[in-house]
Amino acid sequence: MRGFEGLLDGDFRPLGARDVGGIIHRGGTILQTARSARFMEAEWQDRAAGNLLGAGVQGLVVIGGDGSFRGAEELRKRGVAVAGIPGTIDNDIAGTDLTIGFRTAVETALDAVMRLRDTASSHDRLFIVEVMGRRSGFLALDVAVAGGAEAVIVPEVQFALGKLIDRLHEARRKGKTHSLIVLAEGVMPALDLRDRIQDTAGYDARVTVLGHIQRGGSPCAVDIILASRMGAAAVEALAAGKSGFMTALKDNTIDLPVLSVSWETKKPLDPELMRLVEVLGL
């Protein structure tokens, strides 16, 4: 329970078939999770490994991002068999085409964007929608393409205010009376962007920050199926004696690359989707 914090405190509970029955459509995690400053230190990593081995745990499945996988690697070095399953709405883990939670977050954010589209068109307004993504723009990009946004602003691409203003002007010249900008939170706060646009071009923009609503709710079918496939693959591989791997979706096939792939390489945005925003947004 409670992620790495639970490992340090020996907070282990057996789970039977009845304990996990009926949870496939639930969001969040029944195991709970927590950030752990203690686990960053070697002595606490030793303790966590000792607790696991002492409890007779034959394999540990860690669900999360590259930070969680680095923690799993430390446990592997201490004799614990580990597997990683990529779970993050950011979809920024290298080695896998898709992470658990991403598609659900896209659908959740897109639902809000389409509702905002309705009011934007009714009132001839410019809307800025801030979505999650401190260091990556995968979520913002997918939402922008699916929502027909006039522009998307992501950490991977250098922001240029002049280029954005030119694009908004061009949209107006082509007869668009309302516009939508999707902004990844890691670039700048949406309110700052609104002020810069208003000061430079005079557009009265409205801001919506979706925040943690993107992290909750029942998972979509894509995520349910992906989680089921990855979970089964991780357990089967551990049972076969494998360790130090992550489950990954590559060309719709489950692969098992080493954990270090997740932090040794940076996953790039799809340039085709970036181009589509440019083409379809005007």
Catalytic positions: 90
Structural tokens at position 223: 């995520």
- The answer to whether the CB of 79 falls within 8 A of the CB of 49 is yes
β 126-131/179-184 pair status: parallel
How far apart are alpha carbons 136 and 156 in whole angstroms?
A: 7
Tell me 46's DSSP state: H
Q: Phi first, then psi: give them for residue 254, nearest 5 degrees.
A: -80, 125
Parallel/antiparallel/unpaired status of strands 126-131 and 205-209: parallel
- What is the sign of the dihedral through the CA atoms of 228, 33, 189 and 111? positive
Whether the Cβ atoms of residue 220 and residue 104 lie closer than 8 Å to each other: yes
- Tally the residues of the chain: 282
Check if the beta carbon of residue 90 is closer than 8 Å to that of residue 102: yes
175: left (phi over 0), alpha (psi -120 to 50) or beta: left
Strand partners, 248: 255
Tokens for 31, please give them.
Answer: 């195991």
Q: How far apart are CA 154 and CA 195, in angstroms?
A: 18
d(CA 278, CA 255): 33
Residue 108's closest CA among 137, 132, 127? 132
